[in-house]
Structure formats: structure tokens, C-alpha cells
A and B are shown apart, each in its own frame.
Chain A
Amino acid sequence: MSALTKDRWRNRKAGDSLAGYLFMAPTILIAGVFLILPIAYAIALAFQKVQLLGDVSYQFTGLKNFVRIAQDDRVWIALKNTASYVAIVVPIQTMLALTLALILNSQIKGRSWFRVAFFLPTVTSSAVLTLIFMWIYNSNGLLNGVLSFLHLPTYNWLGDPNVALKGIMIMNIWSTAPLFMVIYLAALQDIPETLYEAATLDGASRWEKFLHITIPFLKPVTFFVIVMGIIGTFQLFDQSYIFSAGSGGPNDSTLTIVLLIYQYAFKNLDMGYALALTLMLAAILMTSTIIQRTLFKEERLD
């Protein structure tokens, strides 16, 4: 008797799980074909020498592609550029986003107008933005005009390796900060007003309220903003591509990891090596996210 029920249970469970899988089938299929399969394929190809043009051939080369990464100067230049880009852009854009959100969250006149104005750079296509900025950065362009009017030194923003990447940094901070601002703004409006009222009764100053109520409340959002910021900046491609017409110049100063991957994959048609570089980038991004997770570990109440 009991054995029979058990069996029935099992059958029922099995039927349930089958139905479950059937319901998930479209997702599994799509995710499998467009996500998991390409990833698996990429990992497999990273260990091969691939020739795609003409007669397609694959040749297993073991770790050769990865050894080559270690010897490739341009990889280190690209890593250095990308790292300095991340180190400068992420903190500034996060702080700027928070500041803008705080300003918009306060009761100033014309708030909604400011919101739209601040958000405009984010909705503009980054390719268009880059072209506009290249015009601004032109040796005789707007920025140098303003700088020389203020008697500040002017730069050859597009041609001087020392400032070319900084030009892209400025542009990127200006265009991505508003996106994170909106996220912060949403989070700010979630903080219960009663907390601030209670703190005011306790005699807390504005700064103390910001430091002890706002910041801790925004912690999960800040984690999200920083993770997304780091991933986004590590994947910098279009701006430096347009800036340097695909070369990463002048003198490798705007060469980023993704641009390098693109060059190897589509200019040199060296898919195996390009995929090995992609795996390296994925490893870097995963490690940095794990590090951040431990840093931002949520306090457990139990």
C-alpha cells in the first residue's frame, strides 16, 4: 500500500518535472543555442589554431594561445590602458551619479526638466556621441577654444598619446553617469522618510544623516552600480574604435582589451588567439566581481 503511494508520488513528480521542462523548453533551447553553445564553442576554440578563410581547419595547440598572451606586449599595454581607464572612470562616474541623484532628489525647481537634460547623453547613441566629441576635441575645436580663452594649456586631444585616453574617459563619464543617476534616484526614493525624521529628532546633522542613513541604504545599489560600471568600462570598445579608426592609436594609447580582441579576430582572422584573450577578459571580470562581493558582503542578521 505504502509502496504503491510512493510509486504514484514518484510518477507524479516525474510527470511534474517533465511538464516543467516542457514549459521551460523554449527558454532552454534559446539560451542553449545562443548562450551556452557559443560559450562552450568559444572555450573549445581558445585551445586551437583556427583557420576560417578558405578551407576551414582546426588544429589543437594546447596552451599555446595562452602562453602567447603572456608574451604579447600589446596585451599588457591594453590591460594597462583598460585598468587605468577603469580606475579613473568607475569612481568618478559613481560619485557623479550619486551627487546628481542627490541634487535631483532635493526639492529644487524644474526637477523633471533637469532629469531629462541629465539623462539625454545616455539615450544618445555612443557612436554619435563619439563623433560629436571628436569635433569638440579637434585641435581647433570647442574644447581648445574654451581652454585658450581661459588661458589654460590646449592639447592635441586626438593626436597626443598622453591625452587621447583621457579624452575618452571624460566622454564616457559624461555619458554613463546619468544612467546610474537614475538608478540611484529610484533607490533614494525608497528610503523611508520616517528614518530621517527620527534622526532629525535625535539631533543628527544633514551630513550625519547622509553618512549613516543614505549611504548604508544605498549599499546594494552602489554594489550594482560599481559592478556594472566595471564590466562596462572593461568592455570599452566603440569609443576608442571610432576615436582611433580601429587602430588603438596614437601609439597604442587608446588600445583596450576588447579592441585588441577585435583586431585579432577580424583583422588578423586569428580566432583561436582572440578567444583565448576573451577568456582572459572573462576571468578578470569574474575575479573582480567576486572581490567586490566579498567587500560589499551584506551584513547577516542571524
Chain B
Amino acid sequence: MKIGLKKSGLGSLILAAIALVGCLKQVTRSPSQNAFKQEESPVTITLSGWQSNPNEKQLLKQVIQAFEAKNPDINVKYEVVNSEYMDVIKTRLIGDVAPDVFYLDALEAPLLMQYNVLEPLDSYITPAFNLADFESSMLNAFKHNGKLYGLPKDFSTLALIYNKKTFAAVGITQPPQTWDQLIAVSKKLTIDQNNDQKTDQYGFGLAPELARQVFVLKAFGGQLMGQNAYATFADTKSLKGLQLVIDQYRRDRTSAQPTDVGATSGSEMLGQGKVAMTIEGTWAIPYFKETFPELDFATAEVPTINGKSGTMAFTVAYVMNRKTKHKKAAWKLIAYLTGAEGMNAWAKQGLALPTRRSVLARLGYNQSPLYAPFAKGAKYATIWQAGKNLPTVRMNFNNQFISALLGEQTLPQAMKKAQDTANREIYLGN
């Protein structure tokens, strides 16, 4: 009897809980009934992205205001997600609260395209939009099974950036053209001013990350990933390229990584005068102008390795959430932001290069001495993208590459270990 009542007590509790949940459901359901109405009155669409500095946010806000002025029936809510952008976006996609339009890095695109959370854009694109104007390699980064899921807003390649004063001080007149030259001038540029056995200025500032090294491992014919989506970067061809980086750091001691000199990036090392050269992206140019206005720097194409030109390209697209309620409005926004006018306004700041060839030419980036080396790189650059397993591969590569760089193990050992671990994780994760 007692037990029976206890049970019924619990039973009533459960009933109450169910009733409560039922109420909640009803409450949540009501807004969707209004969705139909909302379509007529001004619609609000959310746009999410990250910002690398406050100016970028200001500029985008201006571009958005121009869009809103032209489309009075659309309000744009711009949200900046600054840290762990992709984790936030993925979690919001899972929870069905993702923004209608958002930035997507080429690196993360394969995963989202495969899982069908993005709206294919092909059906929206009109001839007037002039898709052919886009740099085709950047467009390809957002294609999956023949469908286009994103329109690249801008891109950046890597180029050699050097401090002109340090070059003049040791009598070098020209930036290095080949990797051998780079290693030779690095020796001249590595200086210990007060002879305390501590280098005050290194020749070359190094970024020991896969994102910056893929073109190096490809220089002798190596491949990051094989056909079957497994990593193949530990073969002898790849190692030949990477060994150049390791040798310069360990044997010559003419290069430094940021933490060696108390900096956080290659640009910061160059700006602080800790290195004479570094390989960085277009974003470094506005950064230097703002943070190190006295720095007298110039840019050149990345020196050739094994006679081959190579660099990396990073691109970010605007994509549309498949579950957005206002697809037309979302497309209008994307079309404006990646259209000739919107892109022109956006790319003026010089943080990255416009993906439309016409805009690139109009803004004169292919002529400007500082930007031309970056623009030229677009032709031969390796796009930082390699299927949905790249994050796993990158993490294992970075870990072991640093270990080889610090001399804890040889490069072949380290890369073998990284490749095996990455491939095991890929296999088990499938």
C-alpha cells in the first residue's frame, strides 16, 4: 500500500512534468505560426563573423548600413564571435540557433558542406552577379558534389615581408628569390650585437604550423593527404622540404619561432625587430601600419623551393544556413556583400584581397608594390583546405613538428608518429 502510494506520488510528479513540458512546447510553437506574417514586414537576418581588429567591425557595419539603405525591408543584425568561432557556430547549428548568414573559413568548409547544413547557392545566382569574375580556385574551395555552398568574400596569400633597414645594414640589396638564398641571407642577418651569446636579431621568423608549411612539403612532390582522405605527409618527398625548415632552425640557428623571442606571431617578431624577414599574409600590412608605424618594410614573393613557386592561400566565404527562414533576404545580403560594390567597400581596408578579379584590379592591388606579391601568389598558391579531417591532421602535425624542431626526435620519426596517430584517429572516428 505504502509503496503503491509512493509510486503514484512519483507518477503524479511525472505527469506534472509532462504537463509542464507540454506547456513549454506550446509556448515555443507560437512564434513559428507568426513566421508567415514576419515575411511581409521588415525581416531581420543575423550575420555572424569574427573580427581581427575593431576597424574591421566598423567597416563591415558601414557596408551593412549601405545594404540596409538599399533594402529597407531587411534589417541585419551583425554579431561578432571572437574566440573559437567555429566551435560556437557548430554548436549553434546543432541547436538550431545559428545565424542566417555567416563567415566560413575554407578549412572548415568540407565538414559543413558534407553534413548538409548549408544552403546551396547555385539556384540564386543570376548572370548579372557575374560568378566568372571570382578567382576560380577560391570558388572551388566551397564546392561539394558540384554544388556551390559559399561565396568567398576575400583571400590572403603568404609573401615574404622584410625589414629594409636590416637588409641595408648588412648590404643586401635584393630580397631572396630562392630558398637557398633565403638561408644564405638569414646567416648574414642573424646578429648578436652585444656578444653575450644570445642572438638579438634572427634572419628569419618561422611559423611552425601546418597552415604555413603545406607548400614547403609539396615543393619536392610531397602530398599532405592521399586520395582516400588519409594523411601522407611523412613520405620522403615531403620530408625533403620540411627538413630545410628544421635544418635552418637547428643547424644554422638563423631562424626563430615566436615563443623563442617572446612574441605571438611572425609579424610581431618582425615589428619588434627580433627577425629581419618573415612569411606572413596580407593582414600584416595594416597591422604594421597601425602597431609599428616606424617599421620600414617591403614585400616579395615567397622564395622558390626546388625551383617551384609556392605559397599558401586562406579564404573565407559567406554561407547561408540551410534552416534560415528568410532565404531570399539572406541571399540579398550575400549577393550585396560579395557583389562588386560591397566587395569594393570591404576590400579597401587592405586586410585581405578581394576575390573578384575586377575589384582587385580596380583597387590596384596587383600594381601596388606592397600588395602585388600577394596578388601574384594567388596563381600558384595551395589553398588551406584538405577535406574534413584536416583539423585532426593539423593538430598531430603541429605537435610533432615542434618536437622535431626542438630536437626531441628526428624529423622522419616525428612525422611518422604524427601521420600514424592522425590516421588512426581518422580511422576510428569514421
Residues of A participating in the B interface, judged by any CB pair closer than 8 Å: 10, 13-14, 17-18, 21-22, 25, 28-29, 32, 51-55, 68, 71-74, 138-141, 156, 158-161, 246-252, 263, 266-270, 273
A54: which of B115, B261, B391, B429 is its contact (CB, 8 Å)? B115
Taking CB as reference atom, which chain A residue is nearest B401? Answer: A251
Are B402 and A251 in contact (CB-based, < 8 A)? yes
B398: which of A71, A140, A247 is its contact (CB, 8 Å)? A247
| Complex Cα–Cα for A269 and B95 (A) | 13
CB distance from A164 to the nearest CB of B (A): 10
CB distance from A138 to the nearest CB of B (A): 4
Judged by a CB distance under 8 angstroms, whether B169 is at the interface is no
Taking CB as reference atom, which chain B residue is nearest A21? Answer: B9
Stretch in B83-91, B222-230, B335-343 touching the partner: B83-91
16 CB contacts below 8 A, A to B, read: A14-B5, A17-B5, A17-B6, A17-B9, A18-B9, A21-B13, A53-B93, A53-B111, A159-B402, A161-B403, A247-B399, A249-B399, A251-B408, A252-B399, A268-B429, A269-B94
Are B398 and A249 in contact (CB-based, < 8 A)? yes
Q: Known A-B contacts: A249-B399, A270-B429, A273-B429. Give 16 more (CB < 8 A).
A: A10-B2, A18-B9, A21-B9, A53-B111, A54-B116, A72-B428, A156-B260, A159-B402, A160-B406, A248-B399, A249-B402, A251-B408, A263-B395, A266-B84, A266-B90, A267-B391
A71: which of B257, B400, B403, B424 is its contact (CB, 8 Å)? B424
CB distance from A198 to the nearest CB of B (A): 53
CB distance from A253 to the nearest CB of B (A): 9
Indicate the member of A21, A52, A54, A161 with the most B CB atoms within 10 Å. Answer: A54
Taking CB as reference atom, which chain A residue is nearest B9? Answer: A21
Are B261 and A140 in contact (CB-based, < 8 A)? yes
CB distance from A33 to the nearest CB of B (A): 8
Are B2 and A17 in contact (CB-based, < 8 A)? yes
Q: Which residues from B are CB-within-8-Å of A18?
A: 5, 9
Q: Which residues from A are CB-within-8-Å of B428?
A: 68, 71-72
Nearest 7 pairs between A and B by C-beta? A159-B259, A54-B115, A139-B262, A140-B262, A14-B5, A138-B262, A251-B403
Are A161 and B259 in contact (CB-based, < 8 A)? no
Are A139 and B424 in contact (CB-based, < 8 A)? no
Taking CB as reference atom, which chain B residue is nearest A264? Answer: B429
Residues of B participating in the A interface, judged by any CB pair closer than 8 Å: 1-2, 5-6, 9-10, 13, 16-17, 84, 87, 90-91, 93-94, 111-112, 115-117, 257, 259-262, 391-392, 395, 398-400, 402-403, 406, 408, 421, 424-425, 428-429
| Complex Cα–Cα for A73 and B420 (A) | 11
Are A139 and B261 in contact (CB-based, < 8 A)? yes
| Complex Cα–Cα for A247 and B210 (A) | 13
Q: Which residues from B are CB-within-8-Å of A252?
A: 399
Are B392 and A266 in contact (CB-based, < 8 A)? no
Taking CB as reference atom, which chain A residue is nearest B21? Answer: A33
Q: How would you classify the secondary structure of chain B's contact residues: helix, strand, loop or mixed?
A: helix
| Complex Cα–Cα for A247 and B6 (A) | 51
CB distance from A263 to the nearest CB of B (A): 8
CB distance from B378 to the nearest CB of A (A): 28
A246: which of B5, B84, B392 is its contact (CB, 8 Å)? B84
B91: which of A21, A250, A266 is its contact (CB, 8 Å)? A266
CB distance from A54 to the nearest CB of B (A): 4
Q: Which residues from B are CB-within-8-Å of A140?
A: 261-262
| Complex Cα–Cα for A74 and B425 (A) | 10
Are A52 and B421 in contact (CB-based, < 8 A)? no
| Complex Cα–Cα for A18 and B9 (A) | 6
A53: which of B2, B9, B90 is its contact (CB, 8 Å)? B90
| Complex Cα–Cα for A134 and B400 (A) | 23
| Complex Cα–Cα for A141 and B10 (A) | 61
CB distance from B74 to the nearest CB of A (A): 27
| Complex Cα–Cα for A54 and B421 (A) | 28
Q: Which residues from A are CB-within-8-Å of B399?
A: 247-252
B400: which of A25, A251, A268 is its contact (CB, 8 Å)? A251
Indicate the member of B116, B400, B428 with the most A CB atoms within 10 Å. Answer: B428
Taking CB as reference atom, which chain B residue is nearest A64? Answer: B428
CB distance from B4 to the nearest CB of A (A): 8
CB distance from B386 to the nearest CB of A (A): 16
Are B402 and A161 in contact (CB-based, < 8 A)? yes
Are A161 and B90 in contact (CB-based, < 8 A)? no
Q: Which residues from B are CB-within-8-Å of A246?
A: 84
Are B2 and A161 in contact (CB-based, < 8 A)? no
Q: Which residues from B are CB-within-8-Å of A156?
A: 259-260
| Complex Cα–Cα for A229 and B255 (A) | 42
Taking CB as reference atom, which chain B residue is nearest A25? Answer: B13
| Complex Cα–Cα for A39 and B10 (A) | 20
CB distance from A156 to the nearest CB of B (A): 6
Q: Which residues from A are CB-within-8-Å of B262?
A: 138-141
Are B13 and A267 in contact (CB-based, < 8 A)? no
